[in-house]
Amino acid sequence: MNSFTPYSDGSSLVLLGRFNSQARPSAASLFLMRVSTGVPTLVTEVPLTGAVTDSRLIGNRLYVLSNDYLQRDGT
């Protein structure tokens, strides 16, 4: 689990992005950014499993709900 605490002065942000590639179809990532003098810089990327179905920002915590399908042999 990654921890990212946004600065209270608004100099950080989280972007939620979705991939449309063969390698990660319908997969998503969180991009954690810091902004200094108006220029965003990537702090880290957090890959998510599955497709994002919902998200909520409560206080300074972002909750992301995703679903992924498990394929079993014979079913």
Domain locations in the chain? 12-67
Residue in the structure block whose two tokens are 């702090």: 43
DSSP 56: E
pLDDT in tens, 5-62: 555 567 888 888 877 667 766 678 888 888 888 888 999 988 888 778 888 888 878 8
* Whole-angstrom distance, CA of residue 63 vs CA of residue 46: 13
